[in-house]
Structure 1
Amino acid sequence: MQKLNTVSSWQMTALFTAYITGSAIVWIPAPLTGAAKNAAWVSLWLASGIGMLVLACVLYLHRKYPELTFVEYSELTFGRMVTAIIAVPYLIMLLLMLSNIVIGISQFFNSTMMRETPSYVFHLLTLLTAAMTVRAGIEVMSRMFILLLAAVFFFSFSVLLLCLPSYRPELLLPVFQHGFKQTLFGAYQTWGFPYAEIILFSTLLPFVRRDQRQHLGKFMFIALLFNGISLSLVILCTIMALGPMAATVKFSLFELARLVDVADIIQRIESVISIGLIAASYMKATIVLFMLNEAISRLLRLQDENILIFPTTFLSFLLTMTMYQNELEFNERVTAEWPLIITLFGVVPNLMVILVTAFKDRRGKIRKA
């Protein structure tokens, strides 16, 4: 890591916001409403509450190892051999995550605006753009993403406001019409994406400038709270506007944008919101590619961290073309299997490091006493 390639706590918070809200604001509302119905917002806050605990774990490890990433403090804790065993599924998981995000972008295009364009066109363009952004460095990423985030939230909240005449609050009731079991299933889905993924963000925290780290935790918790509020608003507004149909649409914000009709002047703005949604997913794909490249570089102890960006991008491109036979298979694996994968290969290894670190600290204090 080059010393000049660092960011402030505000810039890191912007990256964190793009990471947890990016593709989530596109994909989460519709399947979550389909799983938990009117209680989707309850499921979201249950998962978000656990996400707060995950963020606390990430910040704890960052305080203990401020200059190290997951791969490096795993080597310090378990040794190089054990770390290599843990890191292989960890890297595969990041690669799958990147490929899933890119596939999601192509599905959005093919389902809404460009139905006849082959999906590999979107895969290739998205991955190439992400790769060139990663090569530019984390400081360039953070500055650009602040502007993109502002555009994404402006477009999103504008759509929610313009749809006010379509809202019917009575459609929010009853909340638990299908029992609490469905609410827990919705929380399980949302836990895997995006809140369990917070644990992977520890790879980026060493890039925060030393004199900026004292406020990082507070800013990140505020960003996570803002994420929960934003996703909740989208879910609630979708239910109030579409009622039972909210569980059947694929892209909630896009469908809400199609309802906008203000004085026969502001109409057909779904193409505008589409740009924001695509930018949101692109930001997350770029961050995941950066984390994957960083983890591989630290594991292999490479001097040039940019050398594997394009080979990794090409590998991800091949996966996007071969991983799933159809859209149904993609949706089933992401909603049912991904929470388990991220928990086993992402959360559990970090919890093991936390337990060992806490045990060593406690034993050290006992010896001093």
Structure 2
Amino acid sequence: MHDAITPKQAAMLLFVFLTGSSIINIPAPLIAISDNESWICLLAAAGLGLLLLIPLVSLARRFPEMDYIEYGAKLVTRPVAAVLGVMLLTLQVHMTAGIIMDISMFLNSSMMRNTSYGYFTVLISLAVALTARVGIGRFAGMFGLLMLSVMLFVVFNISLASPGFHPAYMIPLFDEGFKPIWHGIYFIYGFPYGELAMFCMLLPLVRSKARTQERTGRKLALAVALNAASLLAVTQATVLIFGPLSGERKYSMFEVARTVYVTEIFERLEALMGYSMIVASFMKATIVLYSAHLTLNSLLKLPRDNRQLLFPLAFLTTLISIAVGLRGQANWDFIVSGIHPLWVFTCGTVPVLVVYAVSLIRRRVV
């Protein structure tokens, strides 16, 4: 059965999902918002992400083999659950289009400037759709090795860049009070920790024995903790290298790789970070598109293994990527930093918490 995964694979997919594009894209805007206090924002947002796991795992345990819309229909009626499902679907489509757009912009601006943006978008969308179509059981096995290579390159990059670190840059300044910290928490919770709400569609696919249900939650929590450690490492490495200019360095790890020079053996390592950026984002886009197709199938009461709507959904995300991407990088940066966190909170976090609260109330009443 290709639509089933083990608890270990679920934890690995969660790590890939949270780390994905964020390991390259998070440092610069987070540092621009919160300066040297970025590590405080990151730890606080990761703590909120761990708390969000509680309702997700609890609902999956209480309603085994039922997805978010199915147990939502039992708890808050089918019409309300359908509205919540449509809200989640809009978030998933937006995220898939955004990740594909981000990869295309990176390739177009940093590697192949003379190639049309549309070519990248179409080819990446096709690759994501084809990978999602094989089923989560198959691509979950492949993503583990790919993510391992990405993390090895990131560690390798940070290690070689370490001679250029300036520890004085790490000291928190608090020159603007706590306002930048709250803003930073808002931003990084929306991208990526609040996004794990969409795992409400993937957790029903986890096949585990009753006695290992608790272990599934622990493995997912470990994945969030490892992701927080990874993002903390790349963010602090960026601060230690560039200092006050860190917030102006788009694709921070790519820029850090450009500073590496160890005699004439190791230099110009940005190609490795370019690979990491593309592969990690590709994996996250695949997970989100697969989750979106599960949501659409559930809304239409189709079998989970139905693949007929996957390519139309991918075509829709391609059109959105091209339409929004043509408006320029500045417009996309505004969407990511301003609109996306609110979208995640409104269409992801709040509905899950509402359904969870209703489940607690009904359990007490019964």
| TM-score scaled by length of structure 2 | 0.96
User: Does the Cα contact within 8 Å between 2:2 and 2:135 map onto a contact in 1?
Assistant: no
Displacement after TM superposition at 1:87 (Å): 2.0
**Which residue of structure 2 lines up, in the alignment, with residue 23 of structure 1?**
21
Displacement after TM superposition at 1:177 (Å): 3.1
Instruction: Spell out the pairing of 1:6-45 with structure 2 (5 A cutoff).
Output: 6-45=4-43
Displacement after TM superposition at 1:207 (Å): 1.1
Aligned to 1:64, which of 46, 62, 65?
Answer: 62
**Which residue of structure 1 lines up, in the alignment, with residue 183 of structure 2?**
185
2:192 is paired with a residue whose SS is helix
**Which residue of structure 1 lines up, in the alignment, with residue 103 of structure 2?**
105
Q: Say yes or no: does 1:315 pair with 2:303.
A: no
**Which residue of structure 1 lines up, in the alignment, with residue 332 of structure 2?**
330
Question: Which is worse superposed, 29-38 or 103-112?
Answer: 103-112
Displacement after TM superposition at 1:164 (Å): 1.3
C-alpha separation between the residues in 1 aligned to 2:189 and 2:208? Answer: 31
C-alpha separation between the residues in 1 aligned to 2:173 and 2:199? Answer: 33
Please give the per-residue CA displacement for 1:130-152, whole angstroms capped at 9, x wherever unaligned. Answer: 11111111111111100011011
Q: Say yes or no: does 1:271 pair with 2:257.
A: no
What RMSD, in angstroms, separates the aligned Cα atoms of the two structures? 1.3
Q: Which runs of 5+ in 1 are unaligned?
A: 365-369
Instruction: Spell out the pairing of 1:127-146 with structure 2 (5 A cutoff).
Output: 127-146=125-144
**Which residue of structure 2 lines up, in the alignment, with residue 293 of structure 1?**
293
C-alpha separation between the residues in 1 aligned to 2:248 and 2:69? Answer: 41
Please give the per-residue CA displacement for 1:65-119, whole angstroms capped at 9, x wherever unaligned. Answer: 1211111111111222222222222211211111111111111112211112111
2:185 is paired with a residue whose SS is helix
Q: Say yes or no: does 1:343 pair with 2:345.
A: yes
Displacement after TM superposition at 1:4 (Å): 5.3
Displacement after TM superposition at 1:252 (Å): 0.9
**Which residue of structure 2 lines up, in the alignment, with residue 255 of structure 1?**
255
Aligned to 2:72, which of 65, 71, 74?
Answer: 74
One-letter amino acid matched to 1:34: A
**Which residue of structure 2 lines up, in the alignment, with residue 206 of structure 1?**
204
**Which residue of structure 1 lines up, in the alignment, with residue 234 of structure 2?**
234
User: Does the Cα contact within 8 Å between 2:21 and 2:277 map onto a contact in 1?
Assistant: yes
Q: Which runs of 5+ in 2 are unaligned?
A: none
C-alpha separation between the residues in 2 aligned to 1:202 and 1:127? Answer: 24
**Which residue of structure 2 lines up, in the alignment, with residue 305 of structure 1?**
306
C-alpha separation between the residues in 2 aligned to 1:116 and 1:216? Answer: 47
1:10 is paired with a residue whose SS is helix
Please give the per-residue CA displacement for 1:225-270, whole angstroms capped at 9, x wherever unaligned. Answer: 1111111111111111111111100011101111111122111111
One-letter amino acid matched to 1:329: N
C-alpha separation between the residues in 1 aligned to 2:182 and 2:77? Answer: 38
**Which residue of structure 2 lines up, in the alignment, with residue 196 of structure 1?**
194
1:210 is paired with a residue whose SS is coil
C-alpha separation between the residues in 2 aligned to 1:146 and 1:319? Answer: 29
Change (3 A) 1:108 1:4: closer
Please give the per-residue CA displacement for 1:334-368, whole angstroms capped at 9, x wherever unaligned. Answer: 1111111111111111111111110111112xxxx
One-letter amino acid matched to 1:253: M
Change (3 A) 1:238 1:354: same
User: Does the Cα contact within 8 Å between 2:35 and 2:247 map onto a contact in 1?
Assistant: yes
Displacement after TM superposition at 1:176 (Å): 2.0
C-alpha separation between the residues in 2 aligned to 1:120 and 1:4? Answer: 32
**Which residue of structure 1 lines up, in the alignment, with residue 148 of structure 2?**
150
| TM-score scaled by length of structure 1 | 0.95
C-alpha separation between the residues in 2 aligned to 1:56 and 1:285? Answer: 25
Q: Which runs of 4+ in 1 moved over 3 A?
A: none
Displacement after TM superposition at 1:173 (Å): 2.2
**Which residue of structure 1 lines up, in the alignment, with residue 157 of structure 2?**
159
- Identity value in percent: 35
C-alpha separation between the residues in 1 aligned to 2:88 and 2:254? Answer: 33
Change (3 A) 1:261 1:4: closer
Displacement after TM superposition at 1:210 (Å): 2.5
**Which residue of structure 2 lines up, in the alignment, with residue 124 of structure 1?**
122
One-letter amino acid matched to 1:223: A
C-alpha separation between the residues in 2 aligned to 1:333 and 1:296? Answer: 24
Aligned to 2:360, which of 348, 358, 361?
Answer: 358
C-alpha separation between the residues in 2 aligned to 1:77 and 1:248? Answer: 47
